[in-house]
Structure formats: structure tokens, C-alpha cells
Chain A
Amino acid sequence: MTGSLAIERLRDAHPDGGKVDAFLAEHKIPLVEGHRATFVWRGEADRVCLRHWIFGLESAQELHRLEGTDLFYLVVEIPPRSRVEYKLEIWRGDHREWIEDPRNPHRARDPFGANSVLAAEGYEVPEWTREDPLARAGRVEPFTFNSRTLGGPRSGHIYMPARWRKTRRYPLLVVHDGGDYLKYAGMRVVLDNLIHRLEIPSLIAVFVDSPDRLNEYANHESHARFLCEELVPDLERRLPLMAEPRGRCLMGASFGAVASLSAAVRYPNFWGRLLLQSGSFAFTDIGHRNHRGPVFDRVVEFMNAYREDPSAVSERVFVSCGVYESLIYENRSLIPLLDATGMQVRLVEARDGHNWENWRDRLREGLSWLLPGPLMMIYE
């Protein structure tokens, strides 16, 4: 009986090198057919594994050799609209190597390098993340700020929107891990495009970086003070900013989201808008040590305290998280607590993981809800 998947038809056709050549020439790899994706690797190896970061599935799944050939394959169920980052693990004797899929041109870069990307049926890279020649480009320039609170200089980048005017007043967006958002989430292009489409207002964005993020972003009093008592007041003196809560948005991903919520809790109603992506909101229901390890201890302490006595610290909070992240549990758990305080809260889940392109893909929904642009006001 002939199989319904291309790899099954190849298997049933008594494959040889020539047929494998033809198969690989004919198909994009990974091969997506309906809800199933076929991963392949060709070469000599003792063992080949698919390594991915989908929480809930085994992180290593072995590819099988197609009998009589040097082609390894694995068929995986992938729900529609999923986006999965992965690598291939090649074993030769005791030696193993993680590689990007050589037959898949799609890559996602991050601070650790790059991963191959599987786009399931229905997933497309949003067009608003690509350069639009009609969208005027804002300017991104480096800045350094001497922080007395943090005891030294902090660097980052400032985004000024195209055609900004001193006579206007702009919202301020402060972005944790700013360099990574610019580099791996294409945030300059995203801002240009969303402003051009009137979906967010022209705004000034400040991308801050930390040399010690796991420490400073984990509910660090000095970091919150740096943001709220040093950096923002300085920016509001120098730049044409709205300088009021509804015009201040603080955002970040992972520990950056913790830093955002923490700063908002320490300075209630200073930030009228929070954008929290895949927050590392670890907590415990009993005891003080979360299974995630000591680096989370201060986060757990903070989250347990906030969960015990949640309060409205902002006006609008947008939360996004990938359903393939283990953190989806913590993020979902946070929503009813935030909601009950009276803050306006929105959660968006995506079939994606803990990665920069997931965070990029959610920016439109998040920013346009937190800082709606003049789309409703402009009728040309």
C-alpha cells in the first residue's frame, strides 16, 4: 500500500540514491503536509536526532534511516500556524554535533547563534516585520547614560521616529534587552511599519541593555530606580515626551518581562502600559525554591509576594507567551491575578517557543493595543 506522505511513497518505492536525489530536489525541507512535518538529513552518521524546544514533547527525537539509503527522516505532528525552531544532532561514534538543517534556508538568529525554523501550515512571517519601502525609517542612535544608582554607565539605543517634531509630545517605549530586540526581533523595522500604518503613534523608543541581566532584571531595586528616577526623568527633560503614565510603556521578554513588572510594582502607576513577553514569572505555591534553579530565587520571592497581594500598578498590561514554552503555565496563571486588580489585561498565546521571532510576531498586537495609533482618527 502506498503511503499518503511523500516520505512514505519514497519508502514504498524501493528507494536508491537517485530516487533520494529526486525526492530532495522536489521538496522543500522540512516537508510540511497538512498537520505533519517530515524532517530529513542525508549523510553518514550513527544516529540523527531532532532537537527542538517544544515543551511537552521529548526534546530529542530520533530520525530513522530509510532502508537502503543514507537518508534519515522523522515525521512529527505539527499543529497549524506553529513555528518551531530546531537543530539536528548528528552522532558519529561518541562524537555528537548540533547543526542547523543544511537543507532548510530559514534561520532565526539569537544571542547564541541561529536555529533552523519550521513554519507549519498557516504560519507566515508577518509582512509588517519586513522592510516596507513606503514606511519612513526612524533613526536609531547609540546612547550612554551614567547611572549613579547602578554605579556606572549604561548603554543602549534611542529610536526617534521619522519626521518627529519638537513641538509634539510622544509616548515613550522603554525596551529591556534592547540590543537583542533590535538585532533579533527587527524592532526598528517593526516600529517604522506600525507607525507608517497608523497602528501605533509616532513614538520614541529607548532600548536599554544590561551587562548583568539575570541579576539586574530579577526584581532588582536599583534597576527599577535607575529606570524611574534617573533614565526616564532625564529623557523627559531632554526629549519631547508626553511625560505621563499613559504615555510610558515598559516592555521586555523573559527576565526582561520580570524586570518590567517589577519596576511597575515598585513604582505603581508610573508606567501606564506594560508589554510582558514570555515572562519568567516563576512562583511556588508552597516553599520558596522553584524547580528552575537558584537564578530564579529572587524572581520567585517577588512573584510569590505579588501573587499574594496583587495590586493595580499600571493601566493596561499585554502579556504574550508561546504555548510551546514551559513558561506558558506561569503566564496563564498570572492573567486572572492581574485582571482582578482592575487593570486592563490581554493575553495572546502563539504556537511558538521562547525565542525572539515569537516576541517579534506579537509586537503588532501588543503595541497597537497598548499604544493605539491614529488609525481611528485619520480618514484621507
Chain B
Amino acid sequence: MGAVILAGAQRFEPTIGAALAALGIDGTVAIVTAGWQERESEDEELAAHLDGRTVNLRLHHRADLVFAADAEFRAAHHERQRLLRFKQDFYRIRLEHELEANHVIRQRTAPDDILAEEERASLNAIRILDDYHLAQCARIHREFEEAHAPLENPYVAAQRVQIAEVLAGAQALAIAGGHVASLLNRMRLFGVAELLTGQTVVAWSAGAMAIGTRVVLFHDEPPQGAGASEILDAGLGLVDGVVPFPQPETRLRLDDPERVGVLAGRFAPALCLALPARSTVLLEDGQVTQCDGALRLSPDGSVAPLVADTPTREAGR
């Protein structure tokens, strides 16, 4: 596994070009913009930022070709997505109640030891629910894969050969943000992670979220409601032990220790990283080796600049 760069939003002040250059990467960069969905091919700005050395893998388009060619596979794929949506909905119903219980417990007055015990128990209940949801998602994926062997589907396989050829000639893979579920879905459909052969991966916003072990959806200030962060699914696992939170400027209340503490506590011992615009984090061999602008969220509710040499492995989880 090559180095991985996680980055904040790139839309207005892109930094990935400099980050790749710092690693000596001056060759072809394969790009994934499947998170942009139908506008996947509108990658001119990104290509210009990377000096025109890009080749877009066009995963969204390739998926459309597969679905157009194989209606049965398309229907099965849609059915899996439908099942996942049902599961997400039920998970969310339970999760909102668990988070509400945690909030209520934290407001109570009680002897310190009892309060601490009950807070831990409440947080553990949330973690159990998160794990249950991940297991449910994994089961649905497994059943789909056993029934339909997507990587052996001839239309998928044909596209995969082309993707592998592009990757073989690339020094790096750049994964853009956008719709994280769509991005994750397309990357999983073509098994892109398994086609990597040591290329450096640079991923930002939804891209950074998709390559972790768990994809966590979040927004502390949605148009209504308390904003319950929720697990979408397992990620691609290109980085272990990191949960990225891009766009913290507009999505996270970093000045609220309770919210930060619950968020980081839920996913501990994973490293919870807020990735503001312009921030970059270089990960090599399970270690943060360079970082600029990223923030570490801790279970005690604190927020601090991330420092180099921080380990990322999820020991004991």
C-alpha cells in the first residue's frame, strides 16, 4: 500500500497538486470524480490544477454502460441499494433515540462515578448500534456478491481491465469529493481499491471519507433537528483507523465539547480528523508523517491541531 494523502475541500484553493509534487509525483494521475455523478466528466479545473496529467476513470459512466448492457444485474444492484436504504432508515430511527438518551444523561446531576458509568454505557449502546448497522450492511453486500459475483460479471470485468490499464500507467490516484454514497458505490462496483499496485492515493472531502474503514455522515446544523451523525457503510479500507470529517467549517460545531466528545468517543480508538479547506495529512504505514491544518477530535471533547507521528491503527477494535 502506497502513501495516502487526505485533504480538505479543494474547490476554491486546491492544494493536492503541491502535496503530490512534494512526494515527487510528476507523472500521470488517475482521477475518480464519480461523486459528481452525471457531471463526472466536467473535470477541466481539476485537470488544469494537475497540469493536465490526469486520466479520468469515469466510473459513473462505466457503471451506466454496465447497467445498460445487463438489465438483470442492474435490477439486482438497485435492489441491494433499496435494502441498504431501508436499513439506513431503521438504523437512523434507533440512533436518534440513543443519541437523545446520551444527551439527557449528560444533563443530569448525579454522583460523578454513576454519571461517568451511565455515560459510558450510553456511548457503548451507540457503538453497539453502529456496529450492528455495519454488520447489516456487510451482510447485504455479502449476499449480493455471493448471488451475483459482480467482479466476475463480464461487463464489469471488461471495464475493470480498462481501469487496471489506466492505473498501471499512473503514479497516483486522486479521488474527488461529491456524493459519498455514489462515489463509494462506483468504486466498490469496480473493485478499484483492489486494482491499486502501490500508487499514492490522494483523496479529499467525500473521497477522503470513502477510503476509510467506516463512512460517517455528519452535519451538526442541519435545517432542522439535532444533527445525528450516522454511519453510512464500511469504507474501502485504504486507510485504517481514521475517520475523516471534511468541511468542518460549516458542518461541525467544534466549540461544543459535548458534541465533539460523543463523535470522537463513538469511533475511538480511530483517529477522528477534521479536514478544513487547504488541510492535508500524509499517512504512511499507519502513521501520520506530515500534516498541515488538520484538527484532531478527542473523546474528551477537545479539538487540537494534528501533529506528525500520530498513529492511526485501530488497536483492539
- Interface residue ranges, A against B (CB under 8 Å): 165, 194, 197, 199, 246, 344, 364-365, 368-369, 372, 374-380
Number of A-B contacts (CB under 8 A): 54
Closest chain-A Cβ to B124's Cβ sits at a distance in Å of: 24
The closest CB in chain A to the CB of B89 belongs to A246
Chain A positions within 8 Å of B218 at CB level: 376
Chain A positions within 8 Å of B89 at CB level: 246
A199 to B225, CA, bound (A): 12
With A165-B38, A374-B179 known as contacts, the answer to whether A379 contacts B247 (CB < 8 A) is yes
With A377-B181, A378-B180, A380-B11 known as contacts, the answer to whether A199 contacts B223 (CB < 8 A) is yes
Chain A positions within 8 Å of B232 at CB level: 377
Q: Which listed residue, A246, A344, A365, touches B223 by the CB 8 Å rule?
A: A365
The closest CB in chain A to the CB of B82 belongs to A244
Question: Any chain A CB within 8 A of the CB of B24?
Answer: no
Additional pairs, 6, CB under 8 Å, beyond known A364-B223, A379-B9, A380-B205: A165-B38, A199-B223, A246-B89, A365-B223, A372-B222, A376-B219
The closest CB in chain B to the CB of A380 belongs to B177
With A378-B178, A379-B180, A380-B178 known as contacts, the answer to whether A368 contacts B222 (CB < 8 A) is yes
The 6 closest A-B pairs by CB, nearest first: A379-B206, A368-B223, A379-B205, A376-B217, A365-B224, A199-B223
Question: Any chain A CB within 8 A of the CB of B187?
Answer: no
Give 25 CB contacts A-B under 8 Å. Answer: A165-B38, A194-B223, A199-B222, A364-B224, A365-B223, A368-B223, A368-B224, A369-B224, A372-B222, A374-B179, A375-B222, A376-B222, A376-B230, A377-B180, A377-B217, A377-B232, A378-B178, A378-B180, A379-B9, A379-B205, A379-B247, A380-B11, A380-B177, A380-B178, A380-B247
A372 to B230, CA, bound (A): 14
Chain B positions within 8 Å of A368 at CB level: 222-224
The interface size of chain B toward A, counting residues with CB under 8 Å, comes to 26
Q: Which listed residue, B178, B205, B209, B219, touches A375 by the CB 8 Å rule?
A: B219
Question: Any chain A CB within 8 A of the CB of B246?
Answer: yes
The closest CB in chain B to the CB of A367 belongs to B223
Closest chain-A Cβ to B141's Cβ sits at a distance in Å of: 18
A369 to B230, CA, bound (A): 16
Chain A positions within 8 Å of B225 at CB level: 369
A83 to B158, CA, bound (A): 63
Chain B positions within 8 Å of A165 at CB level: 38
Chain A positions within 8 Å of B179 at CB level: 374, 377-378
Chain B positions within 8 Å of A379 at CB level: 9, 177-178, 180, 205-206, 209, 246-247
